[in-house]
Structure 1
Amino acid sequence: MELVNADIFQENELVLDDVTFKINKGEFVYLIGRTGCGKSSLLKTLYADLLNPTGKVTVAGFPIEKIKRKKIPFLRRKLGIIFQDFQLLNDRSVAENLIFVMKATGWKDSAKIKIRLNDVLMRVGLTSSMNKMPYQLSGGEQQRVVIARALLNEPLILLADEPTGNLDPEVAEDILKLFFEINRNGTAVLMATHNHQFLLKYPARTLRVADKKVLEHGTHV
């Protein structure tokens, strides 16, 4: 993933100005900044929910600044996207939530679907919960389902927008450890967070969003 002199807009309003950074394969990066500073707008641009950045924005080989709408689903298959609000289908079990996404992204072979389903649930420690409904799960367990969903298509990079924001501190730390474990297996992670304890306890490269700029943490304008 690489941005070069990129301007990020939301409804024609400039949110971030002249953004340049690169995230290499397998890297773990925190994204920090105050509420409303543009972290979510940056992430939404990276998965082409916000369109028309200027400059150069390349994600998983796709040029976001000129991506055609019909190509966006193919971009998103190479990404894992994790939200603070879980966005699970509450009328379907854990397994049905994941199978729904697999079928929507082109999986057809039922045997392969079953193998992949078991694989991702094992990675997030939820094999025994596959037949439960979302409302039967704790917040931390629901977030693990969301992470499993994001891993289904073996993404090159996980984009996580405050994924621990609604969780108790102990549960949040468990989720963070899971992100690092996924990262050690080769998936790059860009994680927006307010939790500065994470940065102290689990240091990693950090990008800071402030005054419409994205800077390496510790760098001053």
Structure 2
Amino acid sequence: MEIDSRPVVEVSEADIKQENHTVLSGINFKIEKGEFVYLIGRTGSGKSSLMKTLYADLGFDTGAIEVAGHNLSKIKANKVPYLRRKIGIIFQDFQLFPDRTVTENLIFVMKATGWKDRIKMKGRLAEVLMRVGLGAAADKMPHQLSGGEQQRVVIARALLNEPVILFADEPTGNLDPEVSSGIFKLFTEINRSGTAIMMATHNHKFIDDHPARILKCEEGKLLDSAKDEFNWNSHY
């Protein structure tokens, strides 16, 4: 079997827009399989808009973007679920159904992404909850969990379909430092197992403690530490 060596993300001369206003112009970058990349920049600099474009929540009309083998410039609405099966999305604000148990939250996503075999679903559910350290939380409601535990459920949800890349938008923004550290450690473990990660963050400590490639949104451009000289630690 031929191994797919293409980057998991490839962006060429793309303009990123938010409500018809261009926030980033002419951007170019690739993310390879298994790579860990930080996305930084001031509030309003285009970080979230870039991420939303990469998981097809926002459209674009200039340039080319390919994510997990999908050409996003031509992707139709009915094909977006197929893209979402290959990627994982982790939000700052959890977005769990408050009236459903952890299991029910995960089952909802599995059904929405095409799972049908109940035995396989049950097995995969147990696997991802164990992986994030929540093996005993399957029957709990979100309000019975701490913020850190809820974020671990969100990570478990993102891992259900064995994604090639996780897009994490300020995943520790609402958590205290000690809990944030545990969540970040989980991301590094997931990355070491081969899943690429793109993490938007304002947390300098993560970058200090776990140096990796940095993409910085600044004044309408995207700077890349792999080829550009810049001070990542200044004013963001």
Aligned 8 A contact 1:53 1:64 in 2: no
Residues in 2 aligned to 1:179 and 1:137: alpha-carbon distance in whole angstroms: 20
Amino acid at match of 2:68: A
> Which of the residues 181, 185, 189 maps onto 2:193?
185
Q: What does the per-residue CA deviation read over 1:126-185, in whole Å, with 9 as the maximum and x for residues that have no partner?
A: 001111100000000000000000000010100000000000001101111100100111
Which residue pairs with 1:58 in the alignment?
Answer: 66
Retained in 2: the 8 A contact 1:52–1:66? no
Which residues in structure 2 correspond to 1:1-221 (within 5 Å)? Answer: 1-217=9-225, 219-220=229-230
- In structure 2, C-alpha distance between the alignment counterparts of 1:12 and 1:75, rounded to whole Å: 24
- Distance in 2 between residues matched to 1:203 and 1:2, nearest whole Å: 22
> Residues 15 and 60 of structure 2 are in contact (CA less than 8 Å); yes or no, is this contact kept in structure 1?
no
Which ranges in structure 2 are unaligned for 5 or more consecutive residues? Answer: 1-8, 231-236
* CA offset digits 1:60-109 (Å, max 9, x no partner): 11111221111111111111000000000010111111011101111111
SS in structure 1 of the partner of residue 162 of structure 2: coil
Tell me if structure 1 keeps the 8 A contact 2:102–2:138.
yes
Runs of 4+ with deviation above 2 angstroms: 217-220
The structure richer in helix per residue is: 1
RMSD: 0.9
Tell me how far 1:11 sits from its aligned partner: 2.1
Give the Å deviation of 1:219.
2.2
Whichever residue aligns with residue 135 of structure 1, its letter is H
Q: How many residues align?
A: 220
> How high is the sequence identity, in percent, across the aligned residues?
67
**How far apart in 2 are the matches of 1:66 and 1:51?**
10
**How many Å separate the matches in 2 of 1:135 and 1:4?**
43
TM-score w.r.t. the length of structure 2 is 0.91
Q: Which runs of 5+ in 1 are unaligned?
A: none
Which residue identity lines up with residue 229 of structure 2 in the other structure? Answer: T
- Cα deviations across residues 9-50 of structure 1 (Å, max 9, x unaligned)? 122211111110100000000001111100000000000100
Contact map agreement 1:29 1:207 (CA 8 A) in 2: yes
CA distance in 2, matches of 1:178, 1:186: 13
CA distance in 2, matches of 1:49, 1:194: 22
